[in-house]
Amino acid sequence: MTARVIYQPCSDDVARKNLQTTILNPVLFSEIADLLEPELQAELLAAFPDGKLFIWGLASPRTRNTWLAAEPGDTVIFNTKTVITVSACFTHRTHNRDLALKLWGWADKENESTWENIYFVTDVRHQAIRFKAIQAHINSRHDRSFYRYDAAQSAAILERFPSLDHDYADNEVSLEEARKDIEDQSTDGMANRPTRLEHKYIVRHLFQGKLTGRCCICLNEYPRHLLVAAHIKKRSVCSQKEKLDIKNIAVPMCRLGCDPLFEHGYLSVKDGKVIKHPSREMTAATASYVESVVGREVREWATKSQKYFEWHLSAHGFEPGALAGIG
C-alpha cells in the first residue's frame, strides 16, 4: 500500500514556535508519561526506545476527520511560508487536552481551545522544497488546512520528490513484487530509472527500516537520510538479469563523501578492501578523504556482488591491479 502524503501548514508565528519546540527538538517521554494512557505509553516506548518523542497537534475540529484517517507510514510535510522545510513520518495519534496544554498552552484561551488532536512522528528530516513545485506537479491548489492527499497524488509526490519517502517499516514490498515492477518497466520507456517498488525493496533490504545505518566504505554510522542505496554497477548499463538481482546490486553509502567518490571513480573495492584510483588527479581535500578510507574492509563484498565491484574497477580504469593496490 502506498503511503499517503499529509499537508501540514506551519507558517504563522505560533506554529513555527511549536515546530521548534516539539518537532525540531524532541520531547522526553519521561516528562509526559503521566499524561499518557498505559497502552499508548507501551507503544511509544517500543517505537522510541531512546525516550525522545516528536509531537504535533491540531486545534480545529474541521481537521479531525483527516487526522483520524492518517495511517502509520504517511509522510507529513510542514509548509513554512511557501517552502516545505520539514518532513516526518506519522506513527501514532491520541486525543489529549492535558498533554496539549502542557506542550503548547492555549491556541485560543478565551474559547479554551488547544491543539488536542495530537499525533506523533518519527524520522524528522530537513527539506527545502518549494510548495508550489509540489502543487504544480500534482495540479493542486490546496494550501490552507491540514490535508491528506489521495493515493495517486501521494504516489506522484513521492516519485518526484524521493527525499519525502520515509520508508516506514509497515510498508512492506516483497522481492517478487519488486522484480515484477522491474519487468513491467521494460515496456514503458523508463527502464534506466529505478522503479518505485525496486527502490523500496533495496532500501528495506539494506537498512531494515532503521533510522540510522552504516556506510559500507567509511564504516561510519549516519542518520538514514545521509545514506543512499548505491548501485555498485551503474543501473543504466545493467542487463535485465542484473537489474533483477536486487539483493546484491546495491550497498549503503554515505552522502558525505563515499557515494560521490565511488560513483565518479576516485575509490573502489578490490578483494574486499577499499582502494584508491592509481592515477586520478585529486585535490588535497579529495585525496585526504580517500586516504582516510583506503584499506577498510567492505563486508558487502561477497561472492554474489563481486562481479559488480569488478565492473566498477574496470569501468573506472583501476586495473592493472599492481597499480591499484593499497600498500
Q: Residue 187 has what pLDDT?
A: 53
pLDDT(235) > 60: yes
Instruction: Please give the average per-residue pLDDT across 188-208, as a whole number.
Output: 76
Strands 75-80 and 5-9: parallel
Percent pLDDT > 70 in the chain is 93
Pairwise CA distance, residues 68 & 46, whole Å: 22
Q: What is the mean pLDDT of the chain?
A: 90
pLDDT(267) > 80: yes
Question: What would the pLDDT profile of 45-99 be if each residue is shown by its tens digit?
Answer: 988 989 999 999 999 999 999 999 999 989 999 999 899 999 999 999 999 999 9
Range 77-114 burial, b when 16+ CB lie within 10 A, else e = bbbbeebbbbbbbbbbbbebbebbbebbeebeeeeeeb
User: Is it true that domain 5-164 has CATH number 1.10.3430?
Assistant: no
Q: Residue 170 has what pLDDT?
A: 53
Single out the residue of 135, 133, 200 nearest to residue 166, CA to CA. 200
pLDDT(28) > 50: yes
- For the chain, the straight-line distance linking the first and the last C-alpha, in angstroms and rounded, comes to 50
Single out the residue of 80, 7, 102, 90 nearest to residue 54, CA to CA. 90
Q: Residue 323 has what pLDDT?
A: 39
Confidence of residue 186 (pLDDT cuts 50, 70, 90): low
Q: Residue 321 has what pLDDT?
A: 47
Maximal C-alpha separation, the chain: 79
* SS3 of the chain: helix, strand, coil, percent, to 5: 40, 25, 40
Question: What would the pLDDT profile of 294-307 be if each residue is shown by its tens digit?
Answer: 999 999 998 889 99
Q: What is the 3-state secondary structure (H, E, C) of 62-83?
A: HHHHHHHHCCCCCEEEEEECCE
CB atoms within 10 A of CB 214: 17
∠ at Cα 143 (141, 145), nearest 5°? 130
All structural domains of the chain with their residue ranges: 5-164, 175-323
pLDDT(326) > 60: no
Which residues fall within 8 angstroms of residue 124, CB to CB, at 6 or more apart?
23, 24, 54, 86, 87, 88
Instruction: Please give the average per-residue pLDDT across 228-244, as a whole number.
Output: 92
Range 220-257 burial, b when 16+ CB lie within 10 A, else e = eebebbbbbbbbbbebeebeeebbbbbebbbbbbbeeb
SS3 assignment, position 270: strand
Helix intervals (H) in 6-126: 13-22, 29-32, 38-47, 64-69, 97-104
Single out the residue of 69, 61, 77, 68 nearest to residue 11, CA to CA. 77
Instruction: Please give the average per-residue pLDDT across 215-237, as a whole number.
Output: 92
Pairwise CA distance, residues 307 & 296, whole Å: 19
Q: Is the pTM of this model over 0.85?
A: no
pLDDT(190) > 80: no
Percent pLDDT > 90 in the chain is 72
> Would you tell me the crossing angle of helices 175-185 and 196-207 to the nearest 10 degrees?
150
Rg for the chain, CA atoms, rounded: 23
Q: Residue 192 has what pLDDT?
A: 63
Confidence of residue 232 (pLDDT cuts 50, 70, 90): very high
* Alpha-carbon distances, residue 50 vs 47, 55, 252 (angstroms): 9, 15, 24
